[in-house]
Amino acid sequence: MTSWGGLFFFSTNFLISSQPLTEVLNLSYMNLSTQPYKGARDFYPQDMRVRNYIFGVWRDVCKSYGYEEYDGPFLESFELYAAKSGEELVNEQLYSFEDRGGRKVAIRPEMTPTLARMVAGQFKTLPQPIRWFSIPNLWRYEKPQRGRLREHFQLNVDIFGVDGIEADFEIVSIAIDIMKKFGADESMFEIRVGNRRLLNDVFGQFGISAEQGVRVLKALDKRSKVSSEDFAQLLKDDAKISDGQIGQVEEFIKNPQPVIESLLKTSKGAQEVDGLLKFAKENRKDKFIKYDPTITRGLDYYTGNVFEQYDLNPKNTRSMYGGGRYDDLVEIFGGQKLSGVGFGMGDVTFLNFLEDWNLLPKFEAEVEYFVTIWPSENAAEAGRFQKIALEVSEKLRAMGKNVEVWLEKDTKIEKQLKFADRKGVQNVILIGEEELKNNTIAVKNMSSGKQSNRPLEEFLAGLK
């Protein structure tokens, strides 16, 4: 219940007048749906456990690399996202509105603008490199579908202040370590690296103009979704490049290495891609990473290597999420240049991946002991049974155990055991007349059905 005063501020009359609350209320309230808002999720305890498990692994891996957790507010000023006015996505997907003071605000649709704002705010005092991560809840107005809701949580991992490809490598390594920590291996996922600077130079080498290059990029982006005939047609009709150039582009896609090597001396993009792949090989991560010219990423703040992680599920090969290098973003914000590399891993897609590959563990009950209250029709006796049950529960908690206790007196023991069973609690404690007299407790294991009686103090000492 809230500490803020409260919205359900009905007239205080109803309590004084003993008028039932239901009558005081507007009746339309009775017809409210129990469903959440479209495209958003309720996390019932069974869902929350999965969420906490995933977030826990994410956190552990990030911390193992020295990344520190941060968070920003759920609402930001609209301007933070409206960098380029008339922006299509801002206009179609952003949840934005005017607050009661006339400020235009938006619900964060991604974390990077907040991150850039915060880094710019403490730029001068933070030791570099800055290694940060966050798991914000983000919103976009989308048509809900598998893997895409209106809200999701997204692990954001970013490093600032390292210009070399070592930073690209570390960011990719964190992504790989996360996958491994969940039990995924190289047969299940793959990191595909792209680089637009490299593509630009490759196009230059093929004699493709800047204007045509933009069209080729767009065709490449659709490469995995269309047939190779349609792809060639796109290059011909849309990009208007020659048959010879189409052949060069297709050959480059099939076997990019010779072209990359021929550009190593002149192309920064070629150096970046080649550098990352070689560094990954030297450090035994090459089996997870490959160059893929069709990876271009939609986000135009990327300035160097970009990457997307692909689910290799043969039934549904697909991009799970992506990231890359963005060396100009903080500069845009605060006027100072600071290179950044990072990725954003969404929980909806991620959960689909874990479910599809059967990588989710079975979750045990978090409650370790269920303490029953021995029933009695004698009120004084029932009170004593209740008191000892609460006392034992408190002692178990003091030992660091998670303990659920039945609360009401004189409930049939079968009903209490059934509750413990439905909750999946392994150990049930029973303190009846004999136990109360002898200062012992009975512990029943719900799987084996076995029951053991021991002095209470001995039992507690055994938990240390």
Encoded amino acid at 443, one letter: V
Structure tokens that stand for 138 in this block: 């983000």
Q: Report, in Å, the least distance between residue 455 CB and a second copy.
A: 22
Q: Report, in Å, the least distance between residue 393 CB and a second copy.
A: 8
The answer to whether 297 and 306 are in contact (CB under 8 A) is yes
| DSSP-assigned states of every residue in 395-458 | HHHHTT--EEE--STT--HHHHHHHHHHHT-SEEEE--HHHHHHTEEEEEETTT--EEEEEHHH
Per CB under 8 A, 326 contacts a second copy: yes
Residues 420-459 that bind a second copy (CB under 8 A): 422-423
Per CB under 8 A, 381 contacts a second copy: no
- Looking at the Cβ atoms of 359 and 423, the one nearer to a second copy is 423
Per CB under 8 A, 89 contacts a second copy: yes
Per CB under 8 A, 391 contacts a second copy: yes
Q: In degrees rounded to 5, what are phi and psi of residue 407?
A: -105, -35
> What does the alpha-carbon distance between residue 112 and residue 108 come to, in Å, rounded to a whole number?
10
Per CB under 8 A, 332 contacts a second copy: yes
**By rule CB under 8 A, what string of x and - marks binding of each residue 92-121 to a second copy?**
xxxx-xxxxx-x-x-x-xxxxx---xx-xx
Per CB under 8 A, 320 contacts a second copy: yes
Structure tokens that stand for 364 in this block: 């045990």
Residues 248-307 that bind a second copy (CB under 8 A): 282-283, 297-303
Residues 42-61 that bind a second copy (CB under 8 A): 42-45, 48-49, 51-52
| DSSP-assigned states of every residue in 163-192 | -SHHHHHHHHHHHHHHHHHTT--TTTEEEE
Q: Give the sign of the dihedral formed by CA 170, CA 176, CA 182, CA 185.
A: negative
Considering only 222, 281, 287, 397, the residue that binds a second copy (CB under 8 A) is 397
Residues 182-211 that bind a second copy (CB under 8 A): 196-197, 200, 210
Contacts for 283 with CB less than 8 Å, ≥ 6 apart: 169, 173
- Looking at the Cβ atoms of 113 and 256, the one nearer to a second copy is 113
Per CB under 8 A, 6 contacts a second copy: yes
> What does the alpha-carbon distance between residue 373 and residue 112 come to, in Å, rounded to a whole number?
53
Per CB under 8 A, 34 contacts a second copy: yes
> What does the alpha-carbon distance between residue 168 and residue 324 come to, in Å, rounded to a whole number?
7
Considering only 56, 71, 364, 439, the residue that binds a second copy (CB under 8 A) is 71
Q: Report, in Å, the least distance between residue 223 CB and a second copy.
A: 16
> What does the alpha-carbon distance between residue 45 and residue 130 come to, in Å, rounded to a whole number?
35
Per CB under 8 A, 1 contacts a second copy: yes
> What does the alpha-carbon distance between residue 278 and residue 113 come to, in Å, rounded to a whole number?
32
- Looking at the Cβ atoms of 415 and 461, the one nearer to a second copy is 415
Per CB under 8 A, 346 contacts a second copy: yes
Site residue total, a second copy (CB under 8 A):
165
Q: Which stretch binds a second copy (CB under 8 A): 78-86, 252-260, 286-294, 434-442?
A: 78-86
